[in-house]
Structure 1
């Protein structure tokens, strides 16, 4: 799933930054076992990656890690269990 639908019209990134954000978003997507139907989770992860990129971060590993940290702090242990079971 691309990150571009989550970009505001007034937010401008160069092609390389968009590529890095896309990679980070895809990494987070896989790590969390997200699907196209996980709209709220997709939105939270994408917005966090965009915020970090606006602040100057360009490392996809760090973008992914920090986005996951933000999402995980909002999820309950039961939600983690279902994500973990889905990946087994």
Structure 2
């Protein structure tokens, strides 16, 4: 639930939150991470949030970039 804790402390609109949570869920799914308490989820959440602030809008692109930048594939 790392992305949800992270998003509680920021001022974003519902569409931005939806995009980031979608990208987060896609990333966890792509990496087959099922344990939401895995410490790796915190790193992924922070990277998703960071990438969302760069202007990327498509959750698929955000997810792919996160995996690439974190070198998790």
Preserved contact between residue 47 and residue 66 of structure 2 (Cα < 8 Å): yes
CA drift of 1:4 comes to: 1.8
**Residue equivalent to 1:84:** none
Q: TM-score, normalised by structure 2?
A: 0.82
- The runs of 5 or more residues in structure 2 that have no matched partner are none
CA drift of 1:65 comes to: 0.5
Runs of 4+ in 1 over 4 A off after TM superposition: none
Matches within 5 A, 1:1-88: 1=1, 3-7=3-7, 9=9, 11-34=10-33, 35-39=35-39, 41-72=40-71
- The higher relative CO (CA closer than 8 Å, separation ≥ 6) is in 2
- The runs of 5 or more residues in structure 1 that have no matched partner are 81-88
Q: Distance in 2 between matches of 1:28 and 1:2?
A: 13
Q: TM-score, normalised by structure 1?
A: 0.70
Preserved contact between residue 3 and residue 46 of structure 2 (Cα < 8 Å): no
Q: Specify the SS of the correspondent of 2:56.
A: coil
Q: Specify the SS of the correspondent of 2:61.
A: helix
Q: Give the greater-gyration-radius structure (CA).
A: 1
Number of equivalences: 72
Q: Specify the SS of the correspondent of 2:11.
A: coil
